[in-house]
Structure 1
Amino acid sequence: MSEAIQIEQKIALEAIEWYLSLSERDDDHVLRQQWQKWLEADARHQLAWSRIEQVNNELSSLSSPLTRAVTHQSFDKAAKSRRHFLQSLAGIAIVSGGSWALLKNDALLSPLMADYHTGTAETRQVTLADGTHVYMNANTAFSVQYSEQQRYLTLLAGDVVITTGKDSRPFLLHTPWADLQPLGTRFYVRQRDNAALVAVYEGAVNVLIQNKISPLLIKAGHQVSFTDDPLGSIMPARDEALAWQQHILVADNLPLADVLTELENYHHGWLRCDPSIADRRVSGTYPLNKIDQVLKALAATLQLELVYRTRYWITLKPQQTS
């Protein structure tokens, strides 16, 4: 497998996002300092960045209008949009030793191509044309396709709380695991790599699952989870699931690995734990805007050691006994 293909998708996405942000805001000195810290934090960051620069240099030397469209000059704000660039980038590659490791991967590029997206440690509130309100958690992306006949949203990644606007057109939220049809409602959708959740707080939601004839109706005050296994049982909805709106994580007997996964959405880097302690149970309330303090508290409570490869790459390990 080539070196370029081994670049983690998260790192490649971050490199692309930095490239776009720096090109759109080339006079932002604070942004450039933040990028420099990210670049120096990990050799893999530098590798991903060098691949993007190499592609740009290679394309800049070509005469084809198609290839020139994705070079540095294409970042004229009046002429090219972020989505246009990404659509073009999806057809090229990161160069490695004369071979091409294709970036044309929906899972990699689609979040950045979405109509709305948030980054690490960023939340956002959006009001759509029909009055629908969407509250986005960190690292979340969705797209909108409204027509005269229907309102259609696609959740690509992350967490959203949706309060649907009053409109006679049917509303449908598409996710990789089900289509959700809210019925005058406020509901929460959480999407992770191998698990998902829908919780209803007002109204009701029809869950339309592939290969199932009848929809599953989730009423207010209830939730249902999805994993690689069959559909979970309907359970009472928990208000604590929405604590991220107040920049708080509420852990109730969660595995340490799951807690770190949540915290990582608010940390510019990587949070890991030794496999031997991944299932340690964690309970408590933790501020998402003070990740360093949270990690120190977890280490003290669980009697663990914080190992800093860099300030961005942190691992929790069992304390070494002398």
Structure 2
Amino acid sequence: MTPADLTASRREQALDWLLRLQQAPHDVPLREQFEQWLADDVGNPEAYRKAERLWRLSGQMAPATAELWPAKAEVVSLPVRRKTPRRWWLGAAVAACLMLAVAPTLTLRLQADYRTALGETRDITLADGSVVQLDSDTAIAVDYAGDHRDVRLLAGQAFFEVMPDKGKPFHVRAEGVRVTVTGTAFNVELRPGRVGVDVQHGSVRVEDSARVLAAALTAGQRLRYLDGQAQVSTFAPSQTAAWRQGQLIADDQPVAELVRELAHYLPGKVLLRDDALGGKRVTGVYDLRKPEVALRAVVRPHGGEVRSYGPWLLVLSKP
């Protein structure tokens, strides 16, 4: 697991603990489990403190775990509301989810030359005639000079149709992975801790900072780079970047993996609170233009349900 992936995982866990403790502040076994989670990793207490700060910034009451931290650790002081609705914790959770969703986009705006919002796709024609199609919530930075054509994928995924130029290779960089082509069509996906490359036609060379991962990845071949390891498999070239047709194609994939994919098309946060449900496997074609409907279709065959708390929080679990 990469540092970025680990940070995201801690953030999700901290938010989940925040919700659980606000719903059951006097549950002693739950509190003991929470304290054990804090002790399991040195980064967990800080992740939870950040979740608490977001809670306070939303204007809500002190978190149910406020007594765990010394007073000097608090950075925001807001008055306590004496009268709150029965489910006051829900508004705070939604506000926290909104902040967690919005903050990363600020950095992308500073780095990106082109980007898309949630639910938006966009076609970009570069200076040499190459075309880049951006998926939902995607950002790229472009660097064209006399001797090179470089595109950096900052987030999301993009489909590239590259104009041939043997004297000026086309590079796509996604974190530590570099894809090199002279003329071909392929998709590159960047997710926390993972990079994927799918080739529709032509061939590409894929390498990281230390070695060549695939000298010639050809049409119908897919490379997944995870935790420093590369795996190559085959697929139907017609399914390359199925997102361009508004589709998510699953072939015996874990529910948790599909939930992570669909989360990139939904605002706010999506929390999967059942590990057993997340481990179930599904096969099907899902409509990315209706991501919440797709999410329900993924979990329903295994008895899962999706609870919506406003537009900023979806919680998946079994009844």
TM-score band by shorter chain is 0.5 to 0.7
Residue in 2 aligned with 1:200?
Answer: 199
- Output aligned runs, 1:174-185, within 5 Å: 174-185=173-184
Residue in 2 aligned with 1:267?
Answer: 266
* AA matched with 1:264: A
Deviations 1:150-203 (A, max 9, x none): 111111111111011234422212221321111311111111112211121221
Residue in 2 aligned with 1:307?
Answer: 307
CA 1:8–1:210: 2 relative to 1, 3 Å:
farther
* AA matched with 1:227: L
Determine whether 1:243 maps to 2:253. no
1:308 shift after superposition: 2.6
Residue in 2 aligned with 1:298?
Answer: 298
Determine whether 1:122 maps to 2:120. yes
**Local SS of the residue matching 2:160:** strand
Q: Take 1:173 and 1:166, find their aligned partners in 2: how far apart are those partners? A: 15
Deviations 1:4-48 (A, max 9, x none): 854899xxxxxxxxxxxxxxxxxxxxxxxxxxxxx9982216767
1:254 shift after superposition: 1.4
**Local SS of the residue matching 1:153:** strand
**Local SS of the residue matching 1:244:** helix
1:246 shift after superposition: 1.0
Report the more deviating stretch, 212-221 or 256-265: 212-221
Residue in 2 aligned with 1:42?
Answer: 94
Q: Take 2:116 and 2:188, find their aligned partners in 1: how far apart are those partners? A: 15
Deviations 1:114-149 (A, max 9, x none): 001112111111111100100111111111111111
Percent identity between matched residues is 28
Deviations 1:208-243 (A, max 9, x none): 322226962212222211100422135345543421
> 8 Å contact 1:111–1:142 — kept in the other structure?
no
> 8 Å contact 1:111–1:156 — kept in the other structure?
no
CA 1:177–1:257: 2 relative to 1, 3 Å:
same
Residue in 2 aligned with 1:62?
Answer: none
- Aligned pairs, how many? 236
Q: Take 2:245 and 2:214, find their aligned partners in 1: how far apart are those partners? A: 33
State the Cα RMSD in Å.
3.2
Residue in 2 aligned with 1:280?
Answer: 280
CA 1:48–1:231: 2 relative to 1, 3 Å:
closer
Deviations 1:41-91 (A, max 9, x none): 822167679xx9xxxxxxxxxxxxxxxxxxxxxxxxxxxxxxxxxxxxxxx
1:299 shift after superposition: 4.3
Extract unaligned runs of 5+ from structure 1: 10-38, 53-102
Extract unaligned runs of 5+ from structure 2: 1-45, 55-90
Structure-1-length-normalised TM-score: 0.64
Q: Take 2:111 and 2:228, find their aligned partners in 1: how far apart are those partners? A: 30
- Output aligned runs, 1:130-145, within 5 Å: 130-145=128-143
**Local SS of the residue matching 2:253:** strand
Residue in 1 aligned with 2:160?
Answer: 162
Question: Which has the bigger relative contact order, CA under 8 A and spacing at least 6?
Answer: 2
